[in-house]
Amino acid sequence: MTKIAIASDHAGLQGKEAIKQQLSRLGVEYEDLGTHSEESVDYPDYAERVAQAVVNGEVDRGILVCGSGIGMQIAANKVPGIRAALVWNAETARLCRQHNDANIVAVGARTTAPEVVEEIIEAYLNAEFQGGRHAQRVEKLAQLDKKKD
């Protein structure tokens, strides 16, 4: 069973709460790494929490929510070993897992309708990495992380 780390900034708080309800309905274990209020916070802090939980093996995958999803995705991808994808529909959520082995998905609470976010989460959770020709490409991404050192 997959364990998820989830976090948001203040703009994504309501979206995060809705995703948590969905995860509970689906029986998916999750850890909420904040924020817990609508007081203004800095999204990189929360993206880093989720990214570190993923790379440290505390969870299997992550979900990040901010106003657009963009800031969270950028911040998470600064952590070596993270392949965070900004997705906007179920198709991009499915493909980020199947082709890119994305270990974090980012969504925009202000830019994506709640019913679409629900479809995104379901697609992200149900899709698996296909390997094959995609494995070589994902390995090249890992090599880019090593160049950061």
Active site members: 66, 99
Contacts of 143 (CB under 8 A, 6+ apart): none
Residue 107's SS3 state is strand
Question: In sequence order, which ranges of the chain are alpha helices (DSSP H)?
Answer: 13-26, 43-55, 70-76, 90-98, 114-126, 133-147
Instruction: Mark 108-137 as b/e (b = at least 16 C-beta within 10 Å).
Output: bbeebeeebbbbbbebbbebebeeeeeeee
